């Protein structure tokens, strides 16, 4: 399960299929150096994304 306190890099490494979800929400995090330390909640806030909606879609994609 992906949680709001996980780093973006951690998620992408463990679940590469989430890259398209991050892109859909305008978070091109795989190209950002801060992804190694930035938590999902902070990234969503910076990009003005609803973190709960992002987490829902991230978790849906890894359940498939």
Structure tokens at 14: 């463990």
Domain ranges of the chain: 8-63
- Can you give the pLDDT at residue 51? 98
Distance (Å, rounded) from C-alpha 64 to C-alpha 49? 23
At 51 the three-state DSSP class reads helix
| Cβ neighbours of 57 (radius 10 Å) | 16
For residue range 5-63, list pLDDT tens digits in order: 999 999 999 999 999 999 999 998 777 788 889 999 999 999 999 999 999 999 999 99
Predicted TM-score of the model (pTM): 0.92
Q: Are 16 and 44 within 8 A, CB to CB?
A: no
Those residues whose C-beta lies under 8 Å from the C-beta of residue 19, and which sit 6 or more positions away, are: 12, 30
């Amino acid at each position: 399960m992906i949680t709001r306190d996980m780093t973006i890099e951690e998620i992408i490494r463990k679940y590469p299929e989430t890259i398209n979800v991050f892109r859909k929400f305008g978070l091109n995090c795989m190209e950002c150096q801060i992804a190694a330390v930035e938590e999902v909640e902070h990234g969503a806030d910076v990009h003005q994304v609803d973190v709960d909606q992002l987490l829902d879609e991230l978790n849906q994609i890894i359940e498939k």
